Amino acid sequence: MISEKIIQKALEKAQDAQVTVVTRETSAVDFENNRLKSAEASQRTNIDLKVIVDGKVGISSTTDPGEIEGVVERALEAAQFGSEAHFELPEPQDLKTVEIFDPSLLSLEKTEMIHMGQQMMEMIKAYNPEILAGAQVNKVISKIQYANSKGVRYSADHTDFYIGAGGNLIRGTDVLFAGNGFGQKKRDIDTEEIASKAIELFRKAENIVPVKSGEMPVIFMPEGLLLLLLSLGLATDGKNVLLGASPLQEKLGKKIADSRLTIVDDPLVQFGPGSSAFDDEGTPRQITPIIENGILKNFIYDRDTAGRAGVEPTGHGSNRNWTNLMINSGETSYDEMIHSIENGLLVNDFLGMGQGNPINGEFSVNVFLGYKIEDGKVTGRIKDVMLSGNAFTALDNITAISKEREWVVNPYLDFSGFFPYLQVEKLSVTAK
């Protein structure tokens, strides 16, 4: 095995070493502007090596499985100028069982993937032929191997499947984009449901309605919650806590949010989009409460930051990324939330992260896709509207949490989540 050879070679000069080998086979079908844009297949191997030499860390990587000596030499050279190792490599441990491989995806051919995309676009075009429809269908088969000089040998086969659909509607100078997608580690995804949710976003946006500047209640759709979660992720990152940059560094065990809010990171969800049994440092995955009834329960640590802080690593890998972020549902239905608002906003997506200071929770962002709520009804789409506030203040001033929850899976994000609709008492709205 490649990992064994690399470990043996590294230990000729290093005291400790670990290697992660990831091989991925990807099939990707992409539709754009009503037609097939690409249907590609690729294979890639990534090898990441970490060595400890005289108490210092050296890191190197390669995409060439035959470059064993080169990747070892570069890691050893890097260790000469590397940072101090504040951690030890993990010992062998029992891993939790989690379903992450669906063999039925192995037989999924590209022709069927193309048919799935066409079906979704046909649904969208049947709703409104003026929409320039698009779709994505991606399949990934991967093998992840982790080995270290302490005797740990972990290996896991993964499947990942993502389907998305949406499109652009251009009318004069007005350009509307809306779409929906979902991914998981098994084949069972309803293409009709994906397309139907995208159509519903278009349906709500048929009318453009004016908005007056001021403070008003805001309902975050599951996708829109990423705006608030960005700040929470930065503030609970163990590295930022160690650097003294997190506003939550003295808040562990204290109330930071509405008492109805519970957020747990769960990498053991069966076939969950972010599920796995171990991270890229050989640390077993575990369920980690982030906020429990409004109380901050944990920061997120890799092995280095955990060693510096004198705590145990949380199993979130060297990049300290959440896996499957689960937000508990509430007691209010989505319809009841809408009916309760006389004048407010329903927001789905934002144009980037805008201006502000995300780690401190401050944001000022343009609404990319959002809707006006008037007299308990969604009346149409809003344009040229900016939303401002503080994420931590918003999480502490929640009016309602919906019973309904939806998966938010974006292929460009480092984590996924199962989120409700969340109503915030008020935020500042600026309209042009």
Per-residue model confidence as pLDDT tens digits over 162-208 = 999 999 999 999 999 999 999 999 999 999 999 999 999 999 999 99
Alpha helices in 129-278 (DSSP H): 191-204, 226-236, 238-242
Give the span between the Cα atoms of 360 and 247, in whole angstroms. 6
Tell the CATH superfamily of the 2-204 domain.
PmbA/TldD superfamily (3.30.2290.10)
Q: pLDDT (tens digit, 9 = 90+) per residue, 335-394?
A: 999 999 999 999 999 987 667 899 999 999 999 999 999 999 999 999 999 999 999 999
Lowest mean pLDDT: which of 2-6, 266-270, 275-279, 282-286? 2-6
Host H or E run for residue 134: strand 132-148
Of the candidates 306, 282, 290, the residue with the CA atom closest to the CA atom of residue 95: 282
**Residue 426's pLDDT band (cuts 50, 70, 90):** very high
Other CB atoms within 10 Å distance of the CB of residue 9: 18
Q: Identify the pLDDT of residue 353.
A: 67
Token pair in block for residue 393: 């203040």
Taking only Cα atoms into account, the Rg of the chain, rounded to an integer number of angstroms, comes to 23
Mean of per-residue pLDDT scores for the chain: 96
pLDDT at 430 over 90: yes
Give residue 208's identity as a one-letter amino acid code: I
Other CB atoms within 10 Å distance of the CB of residue 171: 9
Residues above pLDDT 70, as percent of the chain: 99
Label the pairing between strands 362-374 and 355-357: antiparallel
Token pair in block for residue 390: 């503080």
Q: What is the mean pLDDT of residues 275-301?
A: 98
- Is 343:216 a contact under the CB 8 Å cutoff? yes
**Domain layout of the chain by residue ranges:** 2-204, 207-432
Q: Identify the pLDDT of residue 384.
A: 95
Q: What is the mean pLDDT of residues 282-300?
A: 98
Q: Identify the pLDDT of residue 151.
A: 97
Q: What is the mean pLDDT of residues 297-325?
A: 97
Other CB atoms within 10 Å distance of the CB of residue 25: 14
Q: What is the mean pLDDT of residues 212-229?
A: 97
Q: pLDDT (tens digit, 9 = 90+) per residue, 143-169?
A: 999 999 999 999 999 999 999 999 999
- Is 159:276 a contact under the CB 8 Å cutoff? no
Q: pLDDT (tens digit, 9 = 90+) per residue, 14-57?
A: 999 999 999 999 999 999 999 999 999 999 999 999 999 999 99
